[in-house]
Chains A and B, each alone.
Chain A
Amino acid sequence: MAQNVNFDLSHPAVEAGLESPADENVVHDSFSQLIAEQSQNEGLSDAIELQHLQGNPDDDEGRDNVAYLSPSENRGWRIGSDEAAEEDNETQTDSLLKDRWSSATLKILSSMPSRTIGRSRGAIISQYYNRTTELRRRTQKRASIKDFSRSARPSIRGYGVEVDTTDSAEKKQERLVKNLQDLSAVDRMRMLKEMPLNLSEKKDLRRLTLEMTKRTRSSSNLPCCSYLKFQIILALRHSWYSCLSFLHSLQLWQMPLKRVGGRFGSGVLSYFLFLKTLLFFNVFLFLVLGSFLVFPQAVYLPELPESRTPFTGLELLTGGGYFSNTLLYYGYYSNHTLPNCPKNNSTRPECDSRSLSYNMPLAYFFTIGLSFFITCIILVYSMSKSFGQSFRIDKSNGMLAMKVFCSWDFKVIKRSSVKLLSENICTQLKELLGDTHHRLVRNTILDKLIKLLIHGLSWTLCLGATAGCVAGIYCFSDYMHKKQESSENDSEDPGLLNEASLLALPVLVSFINLMLPILFQLTAWMEKYNSPSLRTFVSLSRNLILKVSVLGVLCFHWLKRVAGSANDDKTFKCWESFVGQDLYRFLVIDFIFSLLDTLFGELLWRLFSDKVLKRNRRPGFDIAKNVLDLIYGQTLAWLGLLFTPLLPAVQILKLLLLFYIKMSSVMMNCQAPSRPYRVSQMTTIFITLLCFPSFLGSSVCVTYTMWRLPSSGSCGPFRGNKTMIQAGKQRIAELVDENRSLSFLADAHTYLVENPLFLFVGAAIFLIVIYFQSQVVDGQRKIIALLQEQIENEGEDKKFLITRLQSVHERKRTPARNLTSQDSGC
């Protein structure tokens, strides 16, 4: 019995100083009984020894009863144990290793709560009993005070904590069932799901809970409205489940993803999951734009000014020709309220009756804005969720335990991949072990200089190559622009060759995007890095710099040059459509070059390496490069949203094809990565890259276009040589004029959104919230450090008590046989 009381020291609730008032007397009695027992027998010397070590026997006698309640008191014991350790062998108290202890001590050790929680059913039930009690306390009203017996400590009334663990299994189960019954249905189900018991026991618990619920419900008279509410909640829950199952059954590509994960592990799988995420973004954009822009325009077709050029196959690549005056581009959309009925004679059928009017310019403006806004929210949410998962508060340095416990990827099924994974883990462990040994090896100054020189050289090479290529793109785009202007000035009929020459710029850009990363890889080979993650970061940043500068110069070309040279009469009559076509071309050529890269980089390289070089190792799948390519394509798609409302559809097709091509290529040609790949960290980085340079850049460009650039006069929803924002405001003013009731919206807009004070206040509040959160994180770090120290102290207490018990037992075993049975129970 004393066993249960003493070893509850490790119980978390007791450590915190809480205790059931009902059990107080019992606890007090038994502890003092133990002391009394020990003082009765010859263990008196031991008790005195214990008190001696305290150095303050009188206080201790009075403090004994409450010693275990407040953790700080235990420090007194710890100091004592240190002194004791100096007397005995210090090594004995180092660890609770098995071979030194008697069978009784071993029995006690094995039934300690910290060890039973991992394996015993009763311990799990007790733990979940406590959790359900806490949950009940938090979610429901407190049980009334009068339910608890009076105690000398009214402040801890109401904290029902299970302290007595001598209950039989049935009683524990009964208490748990009672608690479960009092929880709400949702909480109950969550608790049942989270219990690490086997299914038959969970079924029993559930059955008992439902029986009890039925009994209590039939005995009490529920008013009819709460019964109805209960039924409604049940029906809602059932429909929610069926909804979830339906969504789950729509799982796209489940089998291929499982095969890839089974063969290559989580790293390569994360690329395909990223592709799937991008696909869903584009599907969402397509649905929004399609339903609000494309569909109404398709229903009410505008009049076509000139005859269409016939369809040749080249349109699929260039996006011009047959496609120029279609729903694909900005220029096709009308700038009137649909249906466009002239005031006098109208021959169109939809103008006769009072059909619904649809203000196309306003719809265009708001749809684009809304889609960008929702995409922004989704991106920021997923980025913060991903960041929150991978950010850890306590800055502990140990990687070894984490590697050993967490690095096995259970998804990997194929035998060769399992072998590869084992080799991978072995290498990592050896490296980490070697690190801890050889951290003291210092390089000479010369070595460091040489290393610095090599790094500087490779960085200069990479940045120089990037700058050179960007300058090349700038000059070439200038040349192409002038050529285009002159050709438009000269003749009316462009000709097929002229159309094909429009493809030159996209081909050049994609070629640079393909070749320069190879150069970066070659320079990375000659460098030596301390850690593989540093290597990955450097290569990622170089590729990123390349792509950002390429996109920057292209945006300059479109927004400054093309839009700037727009002239209503002659050149670039409809510059938005031209930019849209350019983006379409870029997207398609980028796809073609990805195909070529897969073909040459993976298939041919594998054949070459198998047949010619006769090596067994296949090329690895470069995850970072492929993800950056995906992000680049998505940036193009976002840039083109304003100019080409159907671009998400093109992107969807591209992603679908890319998925199947990459999947088959990876399965046929590549092997699992031989370097460690930290999936969660890299996924966070990729989502951040998708949000910050990619989405932010494209939204900045679109905002700039809407705000500053005058729209062309002859095409599109915003004809009239004003900027889109001005045109939009004008439309809103017209709308407000028509319906007086919407005037409050306009007023709200003027006073809130355009008022800079509002934005300042909003930004200030945001910064304050961030500051508070960072303070909270700091505080949590301190608490973690404190708690670790406390656990160490408790561990010392545990060791001390076990060794004392062992010595008491040994001392009693020899002289007094009749007391052994009593003591072994202690």
Chain B
Amino acid sequence: MGTTASQLAKDSLSEYQELTFLTKQEILLAHRRFTELLDRDERNHPNPRVPMEVILTLPELKSNPFKTRICQVFSTSEDKDGSLTFEDFLDLLSAFSDSATLEIKSHYAFRIFDFDDDGTLDCGDLEKLVNCLTGETEDTRLSSEEMRQLISNILDESDIDKDGTVNLSEFQHVISRSPDFVSSFKIVL
């Protein structure tokens, strides 16, 4: 009917259904929204890659303070520039979907919060995280004294093996205590 670029082939659709947490309607909707982001000439490309700036124009991501980290985590490009193919986009939606398990969500949340990509959340990561949470304006930022105290409290509570950083298991342990995490870690197209 059409090329695989502009129309999803039936077997890829069922494959995506099997490998992600998305339903058929969600995959088709994602495909439609993704092709809207492409230029006309890129649409016939077999595996188009959308640069990060274009992805960040999506209304679901536009105001999110973690938008650049999200793109970087799910991107499979070698240049680490945050550009996404359609499959990366599906990965993103699958991790943020309704039926994704707590484990997948906490894994990706950990990677999003790990600003320096070293596999643990150390003081620098935590500081950047808190700054993202509290916003950019001056009156909502925490003072450096408060920040220091906050980070030391966080490490006291969550660093079980006392190595000064929060690794994935410790992060997942904290997350498992909060029942709201699964419902708040959601993005729906």
Interface residues of A (CB under 8 A from B): 94-98, 110, 114-120, 189, 192-194, 196, 198-200, 202-203, 206, 241, 244-245, 248-249, 258, 261-262, 266, 389-390, 392, 394, 396, 398, 400-402, 404-415, 418-419, 422-423, 425-426, 429-430, 433, 436, 678-681, 788, 791-792, 794-796, 798-799
Chain A: CB-nearest residue to B99: A193
Give 7 A-B contacts (CB < 8 Å), ordered by A residue: A189-B18, A199-B91, A266-B183, A410-B186, A413-B59, A415-B63, A436-B153
CB atoms of A389 and B76 under 8 A apart: no
Taking the closest CB of chain A, its distance from the CB of B73, in whole angstroms, is 10
CB atoms of B154 and A401 under 8 A apart: yes
- Give the residues from 8 to 47 in chain B that come closer than 8 angstroms, CB to CB, to chain A: 15-21, 23-26
Chain B hits for A117, CB < 8 A: 119, 167-169
Main SS class of interface, A? helix
Q: A396-B157, A433-B149 are in contact. Are A116 and B184 (CB under 8 A)?
A: no
Taking the closest CB of chain A, its distance from the CB of B20, in whole angstroms, is 7
Q: A203-B15, A406-B184, A408-B184 are in contact. Are A413 and B158 (CB under 8 A)?
A: no
- Give the residues from 71 to 126 in chain B that come closer than 8 angstroms, CB to CB, to chain A: 74, 76, 87-88, 90-91, 95-96, 101, 103-104, 107-111, 113-114, 117-120, 122, 126
Taking the closest CB of chain A, its distance from the CB of B53, in whole angstroms, is 18
B187 within 8 A of A: yes
Q: How far apart are the CA atoms of A266 and B150 in the complex, in Å?
A: 26
User: Interface range on chain B: under 10, 10 to 19, 20 to 34, or 35 or more?
Assistant: 35 or more
Select which of B24, B62, B135, B180 is within 8 A of A266 by beta carbon.
Answer: B180
Q: A194-B103, A433-B153 are in contact. Are A258 and B188 (CB under 8 A)?
A: yes
- Give the residues from 135 to 165 in chain B that come closer than 8 angstroms, CB to CB, to chain A: 135, 137, 140-142, 146, 149-150, 153-154, 156-158, 160-165
Chain B hits for A398, CB < 8 A: 153, 156-158
Select which of B113, B126, B133 is within 8 A of A407 by beta carbon.
Answer: B133
Taking the closest CB of chain A, its distance from the CB of B170, in whole angstroms, is 9
Taking the closest CB of chain A, its distance from the CB of B113, in whole angstroms, is 7
B64 within 8 A of A: yes
Taking the closest CB of chain A, its distance from the CB of B65, in whole angstroms, is 7
Q: How far apart are the CA atoms of A119 and B167 in the complex, in Å?
A: 11
CB atoms of A392 and B110 under 8 A apart: no
Taking the closest CB of chain A, its distance from the CB of B12, in whole angstroms, is 9
B179 within 8 A of A: yes
CB atoms of A409 and B184 under 8 A apart: yes
Chain B: CB-nearest residue to A427: B140
Chain A hits for B52, CB < 8 A: none
Chain A hits for B141, CB < 8 A: 426
Chain A: CB-nearest residue to B98: A248
Chain A: CB-nearest residue to B132: A408
Q: How far apart are the CA atoms of A406 and B161 in the complex, in Å?
A: 21
Q: How far apart are the CA atoms of A405 and B155 in the complex, in Å?
A: 12
CB atoms of B164 and A114 under 8 A apart: no
CB atoms of B178 and A118 under 8 A apart: no
Taking the closest CB of chain B, its distance from the CB of A783, in whole angstroms, is 14
B56 within 8 A of A: no
Select which of A200, A245, A406 is within 8 A of B181 by beta carbon.
Answer: A406
B54 within 8 A of A: no
CB atoms of A418 and B63 under 8 A apart: yes
Q: A389-B179, A411-B188 are in contact. Are A118 and B167 (CB under 8 A)?
A: yes
Q: How far apart are the CA atoms of A772 and B68 in the complex, in Å?
A: 49
B129 within 8 A of A: yes
CB atoms of A418 and B164 under 8 A apart: no
Q: How far apart are the CA atoms of A203 and B11 in the complex, in Å?
A: 12
CB atoms of B135 and A426 under 8 A apart: yes
CB atoms of A795 and B133 under 8 A apart: no
Chain A hits for B171, CB < 8 A: 405
Shortest Cβ-Cβ A-B pairs, 9 listed? A795-B161, A95-B164, A398-B157, A422-B135, A115-B119, A680-B179, A199-B87, A406-B178, A426-B134
Q: A119-B119, A199-B87, A430-B146 are in contact. Are A94 and B164 (CB under 8 A)?
A: yes
Q: A110-B119, A118-B111, A401-B154 are in contact. Are A679 and B183 (CB under 8 A)?
A: yes
Select which of B60, B66, B91, B96 is within 8 A of A413 by beta carbon.
Answer: B60
Chain B hits for A120, CB < 8 A: 119
Name, among B130, B135, B154, B178, the residue most crowded by chain A CB atoms within 10 Å (CB to CB).
B178
CB atoms of B160 and A199 under 8 A apart: no
CB atoms of A198 and B88 under 8 A apart: yes
Chain B: CB-nearest residue to A402: B178
Chain A hits for B176, CB < 8 A: 392
Chain B hits for A193, CB < 8 A: 18-21
CB atoms of B174 and A405 under 8 A apart: yes
Q: How far apart are the CA atoms of A408 and B113 in the complex, in Å?
A: 12
Chain A: CB-nearest residue to B88: A198
Chain B hits for A411, CB < 8 A: 184, 186-188
Taking the closest CB of chain B, its distance from the CB of A168, in whole angstroms, is 21
Taking the closest CB of chain B, its distance from the CB of A471, in whole angstroms, is 42
5 additional contacts, CB 8 Å, given A423-B135, A791-B161? A98-B122, A116-B119, A200-B76, A203-B15, A390-B179
B5 within 8 A of A: no
Chain A hits for B90, CB < 8 A: 199
Chain B hits for A405, CB < 8 A: 109, 113, 171, 174-175, 178, 181
Select which of A118, A192, A392 is within 8 A of B19 by beta carbon.
Answer: A192
Select which of A94, A194, A198, A679 is within 8 A of B87 by beta carbon.
Answer: A198
CB atoms of B167 and A198 under 8 A apart: no
CB atoms of B135 and A419 under 8 A apart: yes
Taking the closest CB of chain B, its distance from the CB of A267, in whole angstroms, is 10
Chain B hits for A423, CB < 8 A: 135, 140
Taking the closest CB of chain B, its distance from the CB of A406, in whole angstroms, is 4
Select which of B134, B175, B184 is within 8 A of A422 by beta carbon.
Answer: B134
Chain B hits for A245, CB < 8 A: 23-25
Taking the closest CB of chain A, its distance from the CB of B34, in whole angstroms, is 13
Q: How far apart are the CA atoms of A394 and B177 in the complex, in Å?
A: 8
CB atoms of A198 and B76 under 8 A apart: yes
Name, among B95, B118, B163, B181, the residue most crowded by chain A CB atoms within 10 Å (CB to CB).
B163
Chain B hits for A396, CB < 8 A: 157, 177
Q: A400-B153, A408-B66 are in contact. Are A795 and B91 (CB under 8 A)?
A: no
Q: A402-B178, A425-B133, A795-B162 are in contact. Are A196 and B146 (CB under 8 A)?
A: no
Q: How far apart are the CA atoms of A114 and B178 in the complex, in Å?
A: 22
Chain B hits for A389, CB < 8 A: 179
CB atoms of B177 and A392 under 8 A apart: yes
Q: A95-B162, A792-B162 are in contact. Are A410 and B20 (CB under 8 A)?
A: no
Q: How far apart are the CA atoms of A202 and B142 in the complex, in Å?
A: 42
CB atoms of B130 and A199 under 8 A apart: no
CB atoms of A418 and B179 under 8 A apart: no
Q: How far apart are the CA atoms of A249 and B149 in the complex, in Å?
A: 48
Taking the closest CB of chain B, its distance from the CB of A521, in whole angstroms, is 26
Taking the closest CB of chain A, its distance from the CB of B79, in whole angstroms, is 16
Q: A193-B19, A199-B91, A799-B163 are in contact. Are A404 and B179 (CB under 8 A)?
A: no
CB atoms of B161 and A115 under 8 A apart: no
Q: A199-B90, A792-B162 are in contact. Are A400 and B150 (CB under 8 A)?
A: yes
Q: How far apart are the CA atoms of A396 and B178 in the complex, in Å?
A: 12
Taking the closest CB of chain B, its distance from the CB of A608, in whole angstroms, is 28
Chain A hits for B158, CB < 8 A: 398, 401
CB atoms of A418 and B64 under 8 A apart: yes
Q: How far apart are the CA atoms of A792 and B159 in the complex, in Å?
A: 9
Chain A hits for B153, CB < 8 A: 398, 400-401, 433, 436
Chain A hits for B118, CB < 8 A: 110, 115, 119
Q: How far apart are the CA atoms of A141 and B135 in the complex, in Å?
A: 55
CB atoms of B161 and A794 under 8 A apart: yes
Q: How far apart are the CA atoms of A248 and B163 in the complex, in Å?
A: 45
Q: How far apart are the CA atoms of A680 and B176 in the complex, in Å?
A: 13
Name, among B62, B95, B111, B133, the residue most crowded by chain A CB atoms within 10 Å (CB to CB).
B133
CB atoms of A194 and B104 under 8 A apart: yes
Q: How far apart are the CA atoms of A800 and B51 in the complex, in Å?
A: 46
CB atoms of B188 and A96 under 8 A apart: no
Chain A: CB-nearest residue to B145: A433
Q: How far apart are the CA atoms of A791 and B175 in the complex, in Å?
A: 18
